[in-house]
Amino acid sequence: MSTDLVRVTNLAGTVIVELQPVPGTLRELKAEVEKASGIPVALQKLVKGGDVLEELELGSEGFEAICVKDETPMFTWDTMNPDIEQLQIEGSVIRSPDLHSDYVNVLTQEPIQKGIHYYEFVLHKVGDEQWCGVTMSPEMAGRRYSGRSLDAWCYYVAMWGVEVAPAEASGMARVPCTHRERNVINMLVDGDKRIVAFALEGRVQGACKIPGEEPLYVLTHMDTKLDHVELRKPMLEDAPAEALHALSGALLDIK
């Protein structure tokens, strides 16, 4: 291999890019990998000699690296929230013991751009009302928008036992239920067909089409000091088969 060439492969050994000369920065290299593979820069881990590349400047000497797709930012809550002082975020787990506004909306670090993705919202504690879903609008983060004014497609749970199945962002359909601690909201998102489907404990509640083309951030709504929500993102093959089958059927029902 040339001394001033960089080669990036996937885990299977297939070449993603070969660049000569070596890009000046890691960001530039990742941008080229994104162009060739579609893997967003934020989801790339480039491994060289067993270590993840972290140097901002790459130098001029050639090397080989393996690109590993890391979806962790897609289910990690964003600590750059404008009202972060009201929140306690530990990766995919969020609490709000210091909440002093009526509510704070929280988004993931990185959005869904394409493909099919399965999520679970574990509602360890809901103090009042809870919205969980997706939004195209990063500006939803913080306390500026109430749950009922969100530009989002969400599943709604209230502590008094009323759920709202998803419809359009501006409308909801009520169904009776009894909320229990540690309820799990299942969510399946097709980023290509722009469809989201929701289930509660594996029982399908509804699905809807999402207009537009913008990437979709996962969103939750912290409403009291007691709220405690955990976001999980199992691989599709590791998702509960019954829930995944039911949600997939709901996706197919949306034209």
Q: Which domains does the chain have, with CATH numbers?
A: 6-70 (3.10.20.90), 73-253 (2.60.120.920)
Interacting residues of 245 by C-beta distance below 8 A, sequence separation 6+: none
Q: Please give the distance of CA 68 from its chain centroid, rounded to a whole number.
A: 18
Residue 2: which pLDDT band, with cuts at 50, 70 and 90? Answer: low
Q: Between the ranges 91-95, 158-162, 198-202, 250-254, where is the mean pLDDT highest?
A: 91-95
For the chain, the first-to-last Cα distance in angstroms comes to: 50
Per-residue pLDDT tens for 54-82?
887 888 899 999 999 999 999 999 999 99
Residue 105: which pLDDT band, with cuts at 50, 70 and 90? Answer: very high
pTM above 0.95, yes or no: no
Q: What is the pLDDT of residue 238?
A: 80
